[in-house]
């Protein structure tokens, strides 16, 4: 197989995987009854904390389509990355 064709197929499949992650909402912020952004373990509120340098790498690897942010739970100590689903504009 031609190297260019192989690179094109690999790049295209990578972009499709990113769209699938975004469409399925894998790693996105979760909503609960008491919060719009709750902990996946204990369902309490999450607080934003400063990003690590390796967190910025996730943003670049997702080609800027997914804006990863680091959160921390004050109750159970969970820390991790979450992203916000894009808002759909509804027209009348």
Domain count, the chain: 1
Do 79 and 71 meet the contact criterion of CB atoms below 8 Å apart? Answer: yes
Residue at 13 is within a domain: yes
Residue at 91 is within a domain: no
Whether pLDDT at 45 is above 70: yes
Residue at 33 is within a domain: yes
Do 46 and 72 meet the contact criterion of CB atoms below 8 Å apart? Answer: yes
For the chain, percent of residues with pLDDT exceeding 70: 91
Residue at 73 is within a domain: yes
| Confidence (pLDDT) at 9 | 93
Residue at 30 is within a domain: yes
Residue at 90 is within a domain: no
- Mean of pLDDT values over 10-32: 86
d(Cα 19, Cα 42) in Å, to the nearest integer? Answer: 29
């Amino acid at each position: 197989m031609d190297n260019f064709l192989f690179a094109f197929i690999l790049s295209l499949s990578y972009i499709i995987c990113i769209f699938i992650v975004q469409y399925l909402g894998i790693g996105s912020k979760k909503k609960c009854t008491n919060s719009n952004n709750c902990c996946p373990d204990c369902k309490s509120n999450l607080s934003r904390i400063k990003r690590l340098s390796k967190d910025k790498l996730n943003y670049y690897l997702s080609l800027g389509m997914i804006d990863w942010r680091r959160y921390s739970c004050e109750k159970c100590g969970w820390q991790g990355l979450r992203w916000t689903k894009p808002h759909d504009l509804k027209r009348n």
